[in-house]
Chains A and B, each alone.
Chain A
Amino acid sequence: MSNSATLQIGVGERPSPPPLASGIGRRRSGDRVFHGVVRAAVWIVILLAGGLVVALAWESAPAIRKFGWPFLIGSSWDPVAGSFGALPFIYGTVVSSLLALLIAAPLSLGAAIYLAEIAPFWVRPPIGFLIEMLAAVPSVVYGLWGVFVLVPWLREWVQPALGRWLGFLPLFQGPPYGVGMLAAGLILSIMIVPYITSVSREVLLAVPNAQREAALGLGATRWEATRIAVLRYGRSGLIGAVLLGLGRALGETMAVTMVIGNRPEISASLFAPGYTMASVIANEFTEATSDLYVSALVQIGLLLLGVTLVVNALARLLVWSVGGAIKRPAE
């Protein structure tokens, strides 16, 4: 469910092509066909998206009628008693994704800057290729790696150490199970690094060379030139790249469910097990027998769609506001 692909991530100005002077002259039949085909394509996409929302809303109607708004803040999930609340899942989804972003964003931006600005030319293609390879690894493989490598490592080394030195923080308290929110955040961060890195690298490469030359010509150091002339220029694109990663993290299902511990509880500690919206749907849908139960799961799906929509909208706003703030000098 990576659904942020609609983010505008370019850097340069995009002069939209002038509208075709459709009224003038004789239109060729080929033009008309082309026109019709592309217009139909747009409508199909819009209808699909609309149909998805309608279908989800329709199927979740029984749960919405039964629980109403308290569904959003309820924290019990008991299929036997038929009482459902979504809060632990919303919390788990948002916290694991933000944690992933916190780790992945600096890492990926660093890698992108190195690849675009600093690395010798001969190492750029192979390293770039390797990072993009990470994006092609199926998520269940990340999950297996998480179960057999990451989780034992966290349980034996990282969590005891964190508990010992930083245990006064509520974030690092509780028994070290290995699985839990921390493992989920880590595995998500590894999964989104290739997305953020490769998109930000493209963004940085799209920055005109004149920017760099001008900064260097004014006596800037390499780092100053990168910071002032390149990063600032590509700011909106870089934010777009990061939010693309966030969108991917919000919807990730398989790898997360294998390491998060799957316990619908809200805990301040990152060591504690949690649960995400996508995971609970994947876990429980196949064996959900009562109508209300199925409906509650579909409503979680609707909520997940809502959360990703809100995140994407915020991303758009951020890209626009940042993009508007830097009026590009006339070239």
Chain B
Amino acid sequence: MKKWFAFGWFALGIASLVSPAQAQMLINGAGATFPYPIYSKWFEEYTRVDPEVRFNYQAIGSGGGIRQITERTVDFGATDGPMTDEQLKKAPGELFHIPTVLGAVVATYNLPGSPKLQFTGEVLADIFLGKVAKWNDEKIKALNPSANLPDQPIVVVHRSDGSGTTYIWVDYLSKVSKEWEQKVGRGTSVSWPVGLGGKGNEGVAGQVKNAPGSLGYVELAYAITNKLPAAAIKNQAGRFVEATIESTTSAASAAAKNMPADFRVSLTNPGGEDAYPIASFTWLLVYRDQPNEAKGRALAKFLWWAIHDGQKYPAALLYAPLPGPVVKQIEAKIKQITFSGKPLLAAQ
């Protein structure tokens, strides 16, 4: 018996060591996996700005993030694809989409000699529809007259897991090809006309690396770190642009002029000379009217920090930072966050 008492005291002692101090505030969030590395960097850096606030973020996927913020089981959600009108209606209050950083998706391939290739959106859509099935098809040749294209079938590789990356990719294909929009459409998972599914960026990249003649799509960050060949894509202005952090940010600058008030915007195929056409925001989801004053204020302050000082961290992690004009637009949004009608951030 004595032993058990001793054990109990010991357990209590451990518990008091690991539980956070009373003074700290814990803000819970859940959602997208794609921005997880930059969010965890932010949460860590932010403890130096405000040591009283701790964040707990569960990267359970955009779908889970939307469900949890709708049920108010977390203080903020995160998503790679904007919520639909139907989903917004289900939420018990008005939800704000706050863009945080940008990501881009690139077409990567495995051909002898890794030639630099150029594509238009129409040709990419035809390849993913199965209409252009060989590498030496006239349509590809016309875009790449100097490349040595083999007489070999194109093995299309796509994501098998539902993902924001897929959403951005098929959103772009839907914009440039009517046929794609009608036959396949947009979604985090779609019914692919052709191709093999790889799990995660690493699954797609692994398949492309191993199988000669394959073509797939991966996140920009993944392509850069793994030195995968990435095709230049023709943008709306008619220029072939390679995916870089700068050309991804340009995609958002181009869209800033016609930014909808709720930021639920697709950035794919934007105007703008230097814009890479397959890019997207990733968003945090917060309620306009916060249920808890102290937490709401801490959250609003964090968001303000993230779109200003926080923007120096994304580039090192290969995300594209927000362009200046968009930051101005988001500032106005964050100022609208309230607690029972009172704004939580004083005018800055």
Is the CB–CB distance between A287 and B63 below 8 Å? Answer: yes
Residues of the B chain whose Cβ atoms lie less than 8 Å from the Cβ of A282: 161
Is the CB–CB distance between A76 and B155 below 8 Å? Answer: no
Interface-located stretch among A45-53, A119-127, A146-154, A237-245: A146-154
Q: Which of A242-298 contact B (CB under 8 A)?
A: 257-258, 261-263, 273, 275, 279, 282-289, 294
Asked if A80 meets B190 with Cβ closer than 8 Å, knowing A151-B210, A289-B87, the reply is: yes
Residues of the A chain whose Cβ atoms lie less than 8 Å from the Cβ of B196: 177, 179, 261-263, 273
Is the CB–CB distance between B203 and A80 below 8 Å? Answer: no
Interface-located stretch among B43-51, B181-189, B217-225: B181-189
Interface: A70 (CB within 8 A):
no
Is the CB–CB distance between A287 and B206 below 8 Å? Answer: no
Residues of A at the B interface (CB closer than 8 Å) are 76-81, 147-148, 151-152, 155, 175, 177-179, 257-258, 261-263, 273, 275, 279, 282-289, 294
13 contacts across the A-B interface (CB closer than 8 A) = A78-B190, A81-B185, A147-B203, A147-B207, A148-B210, A152-B210, A177-B211, A257-B199, A258-B203, A283-B162, A283-B189, A287-B63, A288-B162
Residues of the B chain whose Cβ atoms lie less than 8 Å from the Cβ of A147: 203, 206-207, 210
Known: A80-B185, A279-B160, A287-B63. 20 other contacts (CB 8 A): A79-B187, A79-B190, A80-B187, A80-B191, A177-B155, A178-B211, A179-B196, A262-B196, A263-B196, A283-B162, A283-B199, A284-B161, A285-B61, A286-B63, A286-B162, A287-B162, A288-B189, A289-B62, A289-B63, A289-B87
Residues of the B chain whose Cβ atoms lie less than 8 Å from the Cβ of A81: 185, 191
Expressed in whole angstroms, the Cα–Cα distance for A275 and B198 within the complex equals 12
Is the CB–CB distance between A286 and B184 below 8 Å? Answer: no
Q: Which of A78, A148, A257, A289 makes the CB contact (< 8 A) with B160?
A: A257
A294, closest chain B residue (CB) = B63
Interface size on B, residues (CB 8 A): 36
Q: Which of A175, A261, A287 makes the CB contact (< 8 A) with B163?
A: A287
Residues of the B chain whose Cβ atoms lie less than 8 Å from the Cβ of A179: 196, 207
Is the CB–CB distance between B199 and A178 below 8 Å? Answer: no
Asked if A286 meets B199 with Cβ closer than 8 Å, knowing A78-B191, A80-B190, the reply is: no
Mostly, the B contact residues are loop
Interface: B33 (CB within 8 A):
yes
Expressed in whole angstroms, the Cα–Cα distance for A77 and B161 within the complex equals 14
Interface: B26 (CB within 8 A):
no
Is the CB–CB distance between A263 and B211 below 8 Å? Answer: no
Q: Which of B30-75 contact A (CB under 8 A)?
A: 33, 60-64, 66
Residues of the B chain whose Cβ atoms lie less than 8 Å from the Cβ of A286: 33, 60-64, 161-162
Expressed in whole angstroms, the Cα–Cα distance for A81 and B63 within the complex equals 17
Expressed in whole angstroms, the Cα–Cα distance for A319 and B250 within the complex equals 67
B174, closest chain A residue (CB) = A80
Interface: B192 (CB within 8 A):
yes
Residues of the A chain whose Cβ atoms lie less than 8 Å from the Cβ of B150: none
Residues of the B chain whose Cβ atoms lie less than 8 Å from the Cβ of A283: 160-162, 189, 197, 199
Residues of the B chain whose Cβ atoms lie less than 8 Å from the Cβ of A289: 62-63, 66, 81, 84, 87, 188
Is the CB–CB distance between B197 and A273 below 8 Å? Answer: yes
A76, closest chain B residue (CB) = B191
A286, closest chain B residue (CB) = B61
Expressed in whole angstroms, the Cα–Cα distance for A51 and B197 within the complex equals 34
Interface: B325 (CB within 8 A):
no
Query: Smallest distance from the beta carbon of A263 to chain B beta carbons, Å?
Result: 6
Residues of the A chain whose Cβ atoms lie less than 8 Å from the Cβ of B189: 79, 283-284, 287-288
Residues of the A chain whose Cβ atoms lie less than 8 Å from the Cβ of B192: 263
Expressed in whole angstroms, the Cα–Cα distance for A175 and B214 within the complex equals 13
Is the CB–CB distance between A262 and B198 below 8 Å? Answer: yes
Asked if A80 meets B184 with Cβ closer than 8 Å, knowing A283-B199, A289-B87, the reply is: yes
Is the CB–CB distance between B187 and A175 below 8 Å? Answer: no
Residues of the A chain whose Cβ atoms lie less than 8 Å from the Cβ of B163: 287
Is the CB–CB distance between B210 and A79 below 8 Å? Answer: no
Is the CB–CB distance between A258 and B190 below 8 Å? Answer: no
Query: Smallest distance from the beta carbon of A291 to chain B beta carbons, Å?
Result: 9
Ranked nearest first, the 3 interchain pairs of A and B with the lowest CB-CB distance are A286-B61, A262-B197, A287-B162
Residues of the A chain whose Cβ atoms lie less than 8 Å from the Cβ of B197: 261-263, 273, 275, 283
